[in-house]
Chain A
C-alpha cells in the first residue's frame, strides 16, 4: 500500500505535466507557408550553393544563398515559372548551379556510370564464379568405398531404433 504523501506527489506531478502540455498547446502557433514560400523552397532545393558547394541554396546559411533565395522569391512574384528561374541561374553559373547534373552530353556518364559499373562488375563476378565451379572436380560415387556388411547392419539398426 502506497503512502498518502507519495500519492499526493504523483498527483501533483501529473497535474503539473498536464498544465505544461495544455499551456504550450495554447501558446503554440503553426507556421503557415504561403504558396510563394513553398515554390521558393522547391526551386531553392534544386540549386547548389556556390559558396558551400555540397548544400543547396535552401539549406545553406551563406549570405549569397540567402540573396539567391530572395531573387527566386522576387522572380516568382513577377510571374516567372520555376523553369524560367532555374534557366536564369543556369545562364549565370552553368552546370555548376544544378544540384542534379543535367541528363545530356557527358553528364550521362554520371547518371549511367554506377549502373554500368554494377553490370560490368556483376558480369565479371559471374564469370569468375562460373570458372571456379567448372574447375572444382565434382564429387562422384566412385570416390566412396561401399559399406561393408557390419556397417550396413549398424546403420539400419540405428535408423530403426
Chain B
C-alpha cells in the first residue's frame, strides 16, 4: 500500500468515526434548528397566575422573543436578569414583544419563581409539553426569535448569557425590528 493510500484510508476511517460520534453523542446545541425560516407554530395557553389565555395571534406583526423556562431549571436562573434586560431595552419599540413559556411546571412554583426573580413580560404555561415539542424544544432554557412576518429567525439552546446575550441584543433583535434579516 502506498503512503497516499494509507493516509486516505486513515482519513476516511476518521471521518466515518466522527460521523458516528456526532450522530450518537453530538451536542444538539450544535445542530442548526430545522425550524429556522419556517412559520412559528401557533399556540394558545393559559397565562401564569391568571385564567386569561394568550396565543401567537396576539403578537402578530411583532418581533417576538419566546423564552422557554421552568422554575426547576438552574440555567434559567442564570439568564433571567438578561431576559429582563432585553425586555427593558426594547419594550418601547412598538414592534417588540416578549413571552415566557413555562415548561412542565406547577403554577405555585412558577409564581414563586417569578416573584423571586422578577418579571416584566407575560408568561404562559405549557402544561402538557405539546407546545414545546411543537417548537422542537430539547430542554429548557431555549429562546426563539420570530420576525414581523411570523417566521422563526433565531434559536438559542441554553441560557442567554455572555456572547449569546450580546449577539441577541446587537445582531438579532435590532435588524429584525428594522425589518431586515437577523445575523444567526
A interface residue numbers (CB < 8 A to B): 50-51, 53-54, 63-64, 67-68, 70-71, 89-94, 96, 101, 109-110, 113-114, 117, 120, 124, 127-128
Contacts and interface: CB of A to CB of B under 8 A. Distances in A.
A92 B35 contact: yes
In the complex, which range does the number of interface residues on chain B fall in?
Answer: 20 to 34
Interface in B129-157: 129-130, 132-139
A36 B38 CA distance: 31
B131 to A, nearest CB: 10
A132 B138 CA distance: 55
A128 B1 contact: yes
A92 B16 contact: no
A67 B139 contact: no
Given A67-B129, A91-B34, A93-B34, A110 B135 contact: no
Interface string B1-26: 10001000100110110011001110
B134 A92 contact: yes
Given A92-B136, A93-B34, A117-B12, A71 B130 contact: yes
Contacts of B25: 53-54
Given A64-B129, A117-B16, 16 more contacts: A50-B138, A53-B25, A67-B128, A70-B128, A71-B130, A71-B133, A91-B34, A92-B133, A92-B136, A109-B15, A109-B19, A117-B13, A120-B12, A124-B1, A124-B5, A124-B9
Contacts of A90: 34
Given A67-B129, A92-B34, A120 B138 contact: no
B8 to A, nearest CB: 9
Interface string B51-90: 0000000000000000000000000000000000000000
Main secondary structure on A side of the interface with B: helix
Given A92-B35, A96-B31, A63 B136 contact: no
B65 to A, nearest CB: 20
A50 B28 CA distance: 8
A63 B12 contact: no
18 contacts: A50-B138, A51-B138, A53-B28, A63-B104, A63-B129, A64-B132, A67-B129, A67-B133, A70-B128, A70-B129, A89-B133, A92-B35, A92-B135, A94-B31, A109-B15, A110-B20, A110-B23, A113-B19
A110 B5 CA distance: 21
